[in-house]
Amino acid sequence: MGSKMKSLMKEKNYKKVVTGILALSLISSIGIPQVGANENLGYVDPTVNTNPGHSGTNVETYRVLANSKTGQPEIEATKKGVLTIDGKQFRDLNGNKSLDQYEDWRISVNYRVADLVSKMTLAEKAGLMLINTHTPIANPIDGKYVKSDDPLIVGKNMRYVIFRQTPTVDVIAKYTNQLQELGEASRLGIPVVVTSNPRNHASTDYTNIAASEGQHSFWPGPLGFAAAGDTKAAKEFSEIASKEWRAAGIRKVYGYTADIATDPLWARIEDTFGENPKVASDMIYNVIKGFQGDELGPDSVAITVKHFPGGGARDNGLDPHFVEGKFNPYPTEGSLLKYHIPPFEAAIKANVSSIMPYYAYPTNDSANQGLPWYKKTQQFEEVGFALNDAILDGFLRGGLGFKGYVNSDTGAVGDNAWGAEGLTPEQKFAKAINAGTDIISGSSEPQFIINAVKEGLLTEEAVNESVTLLLTEMMNLGLFEDPYVDVKNALDVVANPKVQELAFEAHLKSLVLLRNDKNILPLKDAKLKEVKLYVEMFPGGTDGASTKGLIETIKKHDSSITITNKLEEATHAYIYVKPVQSNWDNNPRITVGPETGITNVDRIVTIQKTVPTITAVNMTNPWVLDKIEPNAAALIGTFGTKAEAIIDVIRGEYNPTGKLPFALPASMAAVDNEVGDVPSFAKEEDPSYSYKNKSGDVYKYGFGLSYNQGKAKGKSPK
């Protein structure tokens, strides 16, 4: 948080927690996260292989094909079988050989859900209201990724699970089918909803993939879509990704992120659509429409937009996964409604299925945000958003008109229930549910809900309201008729070459050309004849493996480029710099150096001073580039972009059109002076915040060059 915010907080006697700089052991491009006991927050140790192997078996099912003339939907079942009534067929989910209302697809969803709720025990309802990470058995000997007595599905009656691994989609399909088999075998046959963080992009801390056979299609990150400014492409991507997810049996996304990137230090900016609320709103709206469609149905993947009411308002980038960042500060009057809420309004307009509040609480040291005050002398109840009645029931539902369900963040009603640390688990659960949270993430203990009801902290009617919302989503998704997927079809769906072409086009559109001294780019054929290109990746990986991989990619993609491994022989250089910070380090930093994995900045500068150097920088954050920008001949911003797309821009096969989705700070002093709850283009921000290069170009929001336009003037949003 900048000095302006610090002075505002100081005037209000705000007690600020300052964290020391952690020592990082950077053995690769990503340091080992310093998370301690935070696994219940969604952290998955990248050094531990939990991916299931290919030895799993598929579930044998009986399938009834859809018939549009009779209205018969496709149904698929295993052991409990299928009922035939009046020439139509239904799944006998509770195995009683008669048709119950909740099994009858001819009846409205409201009646079906009400019937099912009436049949459920409190233990079954409590289990349905929990969601936690579920890890398949790796390389199972008996072909089962899931035990018959699975502790979550069977032992705790849970039906929502989070899947975090990245095997090929055929393995995922077998795994999700085995989960559904367990659900069908239960007393009432309630299906399972498999959830995942976004899995079509590179990611530092969450579900990270790359372009690979049998995987979901690989697209630029959300920042790349924002840089391209192409909402049509965002919707097209989402429609494609939705088909891939459905084919693998994953029916809910923990995403996308509607947070506005107002604090450049925050490590989760990589997951956002940048700092412009209008762009983020348009992107979120189209992503929801792409994944869900106009209405939630059997062809949909449900979206859980996060993190209400906006996680980007931070103090020095500190995240509320950790106690140091447990509050949301709003030093600017009206910033919450003006900058952070619009993307959630767009999500609600798009009929988003669920919304996830963040861990933090709103601090009363904030300026007036224009909401009804909690008390005459207190603007906010200083309790985490997932337990905050005024924020959820009052503002989200009452003020914004949200009709879906609320999904807590992982652990936000547990150890990270900030402002409620002194409550018992039963009291925390009751407070969250009474405030409007419907499903609690990071817990596998339904007994807390059962106890809360027995102790009078929570009514079963309140439990029924949440269970009704969750079952309505399940039924609308068609899971009560056909929860199973075809393994071969999953592979076929992700192998579509047309999709790869569309994804590559999106990669191209995402690239931002920031500098091009003496028109060094593009390296067209005539110019290329005289070029000997030196290539190096930063960080280079063990024994230069990353650099070798980049060189091989270039050679394979464009064999006309002459590459030399000797800098003294080179006429030009291409270096790809990939700084990184992990949110799990709890150590916000955006300088380029050892602290972000770039241990040899001097080497970068040496290369740049030796030959004209094309420098590409992967921007998961708005990095401070004051050490590696001044001597670059050309500078390209990338956002989880395929290396081949960067080469095409360098070669002039594509004329860059991308614009910065956030401003790049001039220095760490500029970062210290910025206001953490407003975008860089807001009137409250320091006008000298953005970096200016030696040509006078300012790397402010919306800046970007192209080969035929010269200087592209960024327009500050209204």
Neighbours of 364 (CB within 10 A): 17
d(CA 77, CA 616): 52
Q: How far apart are the first and last CA of the chain?
A: 24
* Strand 440-441 with 405-406, pairing: unpaired
Torsion of CA 222, 224, 225, 226, to 10 degrees: 90
3-state secondary structure of 518: helix
**Cis peptide leading into 522, omega within 30 of 0?**
yes
Q: On the CB side of 524, how many CA atoms lie within 13 Å of its CA?
A: 5
Show contacts of 489-492: CB within 8 Å, 24+ apart.
489/247, 490/169, 490/170, 490/172, 490/173, 490/244, 490/247, 490/248, 490/249, 491/168, 491/169, 491/170, 491/214
* Tokens matching residue 507: 């990669």
d(CA 261, CA 113): 39
Instruction: Return all residues near 264 (Cβ < 8 A) that are at least 6 apart.
Output: 317, 590, 621, 622, 662, 665, 671, 674
- Which is the catalytic residue, given 409, 585, 677, 697? 409
For the sheet with 533-538, list strands across it: 512-516, 634-638, 613-618, 572-577, 533-538, 563-564
* Residue 409: active-site member: yes
Residue whose structure tokens are 């192998």 = 495
Helices (H), 99-217: 109-119, 122-128, 169-185
**Exposed/middle/buried for residue 593 (C-beta within 10 Å: 0-12, 13-18, 19+):** middle
3-state secondary structure of 569: helix
**Cis peptide leading into 691, omega within 30 of 0?**
no
Torsion of CA 223, 50, 37, 272, to 10 degrees: 10
d(CA 459, CA 510): 50
d(CA 593, CA 590): 9
d(CA 320, CA 417): 10
Contact 244, 176 (CB under 8 A): no
Helices (H), 193-276: 222-228, 231-248
3-state secondary structure of 439: strand
Contact 294, 246 (CB under 8 A): no
Residue whose structure tokens are 């029924």 = 464
* Tokens matching residue 225: 């879509």
Phi, psi of 584 (to 5 degrees): -70, -15
* Tokens matching residue 17: 């927690």
| Closest to 514 (Cα-Cα) out of 598, 606, 590, 619 | 619
d(CA 578, CA 221): 14
* Strand 88-91 with 82-85, pairing: antiparallel
Contact 368, 398 (CB under 8 A): no
Q: Which amino acid is at 158?
A: M
Which residues are tagged catalytic? Answer: 409
